[in-house]
Structure 1
Amino acid sequence: MSELKSMTCEACRADAPKVTDKELKELIAQIPDWGVEVRDGIMQLERQFKFKNFKLALAFTNKAGELAEEFGHHPALLTEWGKVTVTWWTHAIKGLHKNDFIMAAKTDELLES
């Protein structure tokens, strides 16, 4: 499994570097269920989690929200019947930072808890 899940986010400022193409390849390989989406020119990580019903999807959304609060890094969360779409990117740099990959790995771990 990914080493990312054991890492901690670092404080990120507006001048923090976005991941390079080389880093992107290495990091995305560690979270194979996630994809890269580009919206309005901003690269983002996205994964859809499937559940048997809305109640389970909502419970997962709440866990993801608690994780986000714990690390001070917040995703876009779309909760629907039977699924939750989680999208990570770093707003301050309008793109992907290593923190986003760390949080994606930690989000995957929520399925185990």
Structure 2
Amino acid sequence: MLNELKCEACSGDAIALDKNQQQQLLTELTDWSVIERGGIPQLEKVYKFKNYKLAWAFSNKVSEIAEEEFHHPAILLEWGKVTVTWWSHEIKGLHQNDFICAAKCDKALNDA
């Protein structure tokens, strides 16, 4: 399972996943989408909550995951909603690390 894996160090010579690899890993996640911004594929999900405080608490959990994995997403915190976007900045694309961290976000939500 993806959420049991650890991120590996990703350097500039790492190879981004191709579309087929992305789609294969996407099948292991729930409600995540691959979107493109500026030609860079990114993995994104919107989580919904009953209020701001619950959304804020989840944002903090995502931040803890990011620090543990040394891989950092974009997190948009709004009232009742958190949008999490993962991509590997160094390779300007998606790496297995992004899918690992996405799975860890879902696990953090389910463990709450």
In the superposition, the TM-score normalised over structure 2's length comes to 0.96
Tell me by how many angstroms 1:22 deviates: 2.3
CA distance in 1, matches of 2:12, 2:77: 29
Tell me by how many angstroms 1:33 deviates: 1.0
The correspondence for 1:31, drawn from 29, 32, 36, is 29
Number of positions where the alignment pairs a residue of Structure 1 with one of Structure 2 = 111
Q: Which amino acid aligns with 2:73?
A: P
Runs of 5+ unmatched residues, structure 2: none
The alignment yields a C-alpha RMSD, in angstroms, of 0.7
Identity %: 56
Give 2:20's aligned residue. 22
Give 2:107's aligned residue. 109
CA distance in 1, matches of 2:16, 2:2: 17
Q: How do 1:81-100 and structure 2 match up within 5 A?
A: 81-100=79-98
Spell out structure 1 runs of 4+ moving beyond 3 A.
none
Give 1:5's aligned residue. 3
Tell me by how many angstroms 1:82 deviates: 0.2
Tell me by how many angstroms 1:34 deviates: 0.1
CA distance in 2, matches of 1:43, 1:18: 10
CA distance in 1, matches of 2:83, 2:71: 16
Tell me by how many angstroms 1:6 deviates: 0.8
Tell me by how many angstroms 1:21 deviates: 2.4
The correspondence for 2:68, drawn from 49, 70, 73, is 70
